[in-house]
């Protein structure tokens, strides 16, 4: 049983599916585990963040304390107690 | 309606010309209620570094959103410049605006510098019925300078 708890910051559109919260606590030793905990608590978040293979969707950016997990160990990136895991929209256009 | 102060419009304009010939981009911050007057424009680095497309630098976006959350405000829209075309959402804009994490209530404010004289227009872009590329999902809103 994990005792590491991260603070997850949710994007605006996902907050209604997480009780209206801006941030929620979720346990896990890695970003992947934190997301699993998050999704088991708020199942409505799952399909938006992860695809059917469990990979992060392209329009989602995941940061651990100001670092993009693409430049760390992706979903295997370890988190420490109190770390902020931010789920952010990738915003682009032409 | 997009309600912006003249000061904010000048800041948007400065960012648009300052980034030229590349596209400029940034976010609009306001109280979360619909049509709230814009409190500020925050320029964000165009991570695409391009005159044809823009990508809000994710780190810049994150900081802007965190700051807004801490103040009880919200990001209520995105601004970008068009350097070669009219101030109207491109097919790429519509495609990106209708991605699941982009709030459908966002203002999509566009500054065109294509003809030397800047023009600011603003739109709500929502997923159309079926084909998101149809104009059905693009609704222009009034820009009110206050
Ligand atoms: Zn555009």
- As a whole number, mean pLDDT of residues B81-94 equals 95
- As a whole number, mean pLDDT of residues A19-41 equals 96
Three-point CA angle A48, B38, B89, nearest 5°: 55
Cβ contact B55–A60 (<8 Å): no
Cβ contact B102–A9 (<8 Å): no
Give the confidence band of B4 by pLDDT, cuts at 50, 70, 90. very high
Cα–Cα dist B89/B69, whole Å: 28
> Nearest CA of chain B to the CA of A19: how many Å?
16
Q: Is the pLDDT reported for residue B18 higher than 70?
A: yes
Q: Which of A14, A59, A94 sits opposite B53 (nearest CB)?
A: A94
The residue with tokens 């999902």 is B137
Average pLDDT over chain B, rounded to an integer = 93
Query: Could you tell me if B75 lies within 8 Å of chain A, comparing CB atoms?
Result: yes
Q: Which residues pair with B75 in a beta bridge?
A: B29
> Nearest CA of chain B to the CA of A2: how many Å?
27
Cβ contact A88–B53 (<8 Å): no
pLDDT in tens, B21-46: 999 999 999 999 999 999 999 999 99
In order of start, what are the domains of chain B with their CATH numbers?
A: 2-145 (3.40.140.10)
Using DSSP bridges, classify how beta strands A60-64 and B138-141 pair: parallel, antiparallel or unpaired: unpaired
| CB-CB neighbors (< 8 A) of A48 in chain B | 100-101
- Contacting residues for B109 by C-beta, under 8 A, at least 6 apart: B2, B12, B28, B77, B78, B79, B80, B120, B121, B122, B123, B143
Q: Residue B106, by phi and psi: left (phi above 0), alpha (psi -120 to 50) or beta?
A: beta
pLDDT in tens, B105-138: 999 999 999 997 899 999 999 876 655 455 558 9
Q: Is the pLDDT reported for residue A2 higher than 70?
A: no
Q: What percent of chain A has pLDDT over 90?
A: 93
Q: Was domain A5-89 assigned CATH 3.40.190.10? A: no
Cβ contact A92–B48 (<8 Å): yes
Q: Which residues pair with B122 in a beta bridge?
A: B109, B141
pLDDT of residue B123: 96
Cis peptide before B21 (omega within 30 of 0): yes
Residues B27, B77: contact at Cβ < 8 Å?
yes
Q: Which two tokens stand for residue A61?
A: 């950016």
Q: What one-character DSSP code corresponds to residue B71? A: T
Using DSSP bridges, classify how beta strands B107-112 and B74-82 pair: parallel, antiparallel or unpaired: parallel
Q: Is the pLDDT reported for residue A17 higher than 90?
A: yes
Q: What is the DSSP string of A51-88?
A: -TTSPBPTTEEEEETTEEGGGTTGGG-B--TT-EEEEE
Q: Residue A3, by phi and psi: left (phi above 0), alpha (psi -120 to 50) or beta?
A: alpha
CA distances from B76 to A91, B23, B28 (A): 13, 20, 6
Q: Which of A13, A14, A91 sits opposite B61 (nearest CB)?
A: A91
pLDDT of residue B116: 79
Q: Where are the domains of chain A?
A: 5-89
**B61 to chain A: closest CA residue:** A88
pLDDT of residue B52: 96
Cβ contact A11–B101 (<8 Å): yes
Q: By C-alpha distance, which of B122, B127, B123, B128 is closest to B139?
A: B123
pLDDT of residue B137: 85
pLDDT of residue B56: 97
pLDDT in tens, A48-70: 999 999 899 999 999 999 899 99
């Amino acid at each position: 049983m994990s005792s590491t708890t991260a603070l997850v910051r949710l994007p605006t559109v996902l907050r209604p599916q997480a009780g209206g919260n801006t941030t929620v606590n979720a346990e896990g030793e890695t970003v992947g585990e934190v997301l699993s905990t998050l999704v088991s608590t708020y199942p409505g978040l799952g399909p938006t963040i992860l695809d059917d293979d469990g990979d992060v969707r392209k329009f989602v950016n995941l940061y651990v304390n100001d670092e993009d997990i693409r430049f760390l160990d992706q979903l295997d990136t370890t988190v420490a107690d109190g770390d902020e895991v931010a789920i952010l929209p990738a915003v682009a256009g032409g | 309606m997009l309600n912006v102060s003249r000061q904010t419009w000048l800041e948007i304009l400065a960012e648009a010309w300052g980034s030229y010939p590349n596209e400029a981009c940034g976010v609009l911050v306001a109280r979360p209620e619909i049509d709230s007057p814009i409190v500020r424009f925050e320029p964000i680095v165009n991570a695409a570094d391009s005159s044809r497309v823009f990508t809000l630098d994710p780190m810049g976006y994150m900081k802007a959103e965190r700051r807004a959350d801490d103040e009880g405000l919200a990001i209520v829209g995105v601004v970008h410049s068009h350097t070669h075309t009219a101030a109207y959402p491109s097919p790429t804009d519509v495609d990106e605006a209708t991605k699941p994490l982009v709030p459908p209530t966002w203002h999509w404010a566009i500054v065109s510098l294509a003809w030397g004289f800047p023009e600011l227009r603003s739109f709500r872009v929502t997923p159309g019925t079926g084909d998101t590329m149809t104009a059905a999902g693009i609704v222009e809103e009034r820009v009110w300078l206050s």
